[in-house]
Amino acid sequence: MSVQICRWKHGYQFAYSITYDEAFEDLLKYALPVHQRYCVPGHLVAVAGQLGQLRDVPSSSYSGRCRHLSGPQMRELIAVGWSVGDHSMTHGDLNVNTYVEVVESKHKLEEAIGQTVNVFHLPGADFSFAPAARYLEQAGFLAVFFVDDRVNSPDPDLCGLGRALLYQIEGHPLQPLYDPFPREYDPYHRLHENLDTGGWLVDITHLISPELVAPWKDGTPEILDARFDCLRRVGAGREWAAEPEEVVDYILVRRAASLDPVDGAASPAFCVRLGSIPTPVKHRELTASIEWRGSTPPQLLVDGQPAGQVDRCEGGCVILTWPVRDGQLVELV
């Protein structure tokens, strides 16, 4: 019997996520309906010290003009499949009050949304990682996102994840740190590359609104619609549209797991071996591809009980996903 752990959950060919830096209230009106139309979850990158407040960062284009989502508003989005990442306490210089900006911001954000926050998004520019590094480890973050326009590999460095830029017009010359390669908006940007490499593409944008404040990092609802339309057409059912925490969790579970076929079993069976998984991991599921010669989809049994789901049968294999733990006996009958 041949059994293999799948690169992505449910056997998808590539992963896709989208993130919203600053987590502005306008997202509820202008971005959420587009997300709901395409069934794509989003990810809020929140400034922990300004939840529910009017933006107060003097150097920011949005200061005094846009309001950050409150804790209850973020909880509403979490309830429909979104997630939240930490963007520091004040969106300030991480060389100053680093413990507050990284560790205390995490605690404050977790209190506001009622669950752990496992990913951190560097504010400002990528060189802020250096002063924050040891505090990020101390706080227990599982992943760190930079702002460099690239596709992440299927097995990435989780402390050095990239995000592709999604915005209305070509890069503004005063913002070289956001985009060293200014371009006109392209709804296909890196999607075919992601499909070819089987990687993980993570978009970054800020405000979604008909009235753009910073066109070099904002988009309209029409731009967002075009992006998701391209995602669905390029993916053609091979795309896993997921919020970043779930993707990070899957990578960590996949790295910790091994599957040992059970010889001599009456039906295809294997035992799960699971190494150390960080405690904050929320989604503990695994997807595997197993050789299957039956004419109909099998039933999945975990320790003798129906569990998980059979995603599909194709090419002499069955793809299945189930909640995983060490020592499980998984059978197909």
pLDDT in tens, 121-151: 999 777 789 999 999 999 999 999 998 889 9
Rounded CA gap, 75 and 197, in Å? 34
> For the segment 243-291, what is each residue's pLDDT rounded down to a tens digit?
999 999 999 999 999 999 998 888 889 999 999 999 999 999 999 999 8
pTM of the model: 0.94
**Do 93 and 73 belong to one domain?**
yes
Same domain flag for 176 and 151: yes
User: DSSP readout, 68-90?
Assistant: BPPHHHHHHHHHTT-EEEE--SS
**Cβ neighbours for 293, distance < 8 A, ≥ 6 positions apart:** 316
CATH number at residue 237: 3.20.20.370
Q: What is the dihedral of CA 6, 9, 15, 16, to 10 degrees?
A: 180
Residue 285 sits in the same domain as residue 182? no
Flag whether 261 is in a domain.
yes
CATH no. for residue 309?
Answer: 2.60.420
Examine residue 229 and state whether it is found in any structural domain, yes or no.
Answer: yes
Torsion 118-123-126-130 (CA) sign: negative
Is residue 233 located within the same domain as residue 266?
Answer: no
Question: Per the domain annotation, does 222 fall within a domain?
Answer: yes
Q: Is residue 7 part of a domain?
A: no
Q: How confident is the model at residue 173 (pLDDT cuts 50, 70, 90)?
A: very low
Residue owning tokens 């802020």: 128
- Residue 329 in contact with residue 304, Cβ under 8 Å? yes
Q: Which amino acid is at 132?
A: A
Q: Is the pLDDT of residue 3 over 80?
A: yes
Question: Is the CB of residue 331 less than 8 Å from the CB of residue 18?
Answer: no
Q: How far apart are CA 220 and CA 107, in angstroms?
A: 33
- Looking at the structure, tell me whether residues 312 and 228 fall in a common domain: no
Residue at 324 is within a domain = yes
Task: Yes or no: say if 27 and 42 are a contact pair by the CB < 8 Å rule.
Answer: yes
**Are 235 and 211 within one domain?**
yes
Query: Does residue 3 lie in a domain region?
Result: no
Q: Identify whether residues 123 and 265 lie together within a single domain.
A: no
Cβ partners under 8 Å of residue 111, min gap 6: 71
Full domain range(s) for residue 326: 249-332
Same domain, 233 and 283: no
Overall domain count for the chain: 2
Of the three residues 183, 216, 243, the one that is the final residue of a domain is 243
* Domain boundary residue, one of 243, 260, 295: 243
Judgement on whether residues 222 and 168 belong to the same structural domain of the protein: yes
Q: Which helix (H) or strand (E) holds 130?
A: helix 129-139
Quick one: 184 and 38 in the same domain? yes
Residue 306 in any domain: the answer is yes
Same domain, 227 and 255: no
Q: Domain for residue 209, yes or no?
A: yes
More confident residue, 92 or 24: 24
Q: Are residues 277 and 183 in the same domain?
A: no
Q: Tell me: pLDDT of 170 over 60.
A: no
Question: Which of 190, 209, 243 is the C-terminal boundary of a domain?
Answer: 243
What's the pLDDT tens digit per position in 208-254? Answer: 999 999 888 899 999 999 999 999 999 999 999 999 999 999 999 99
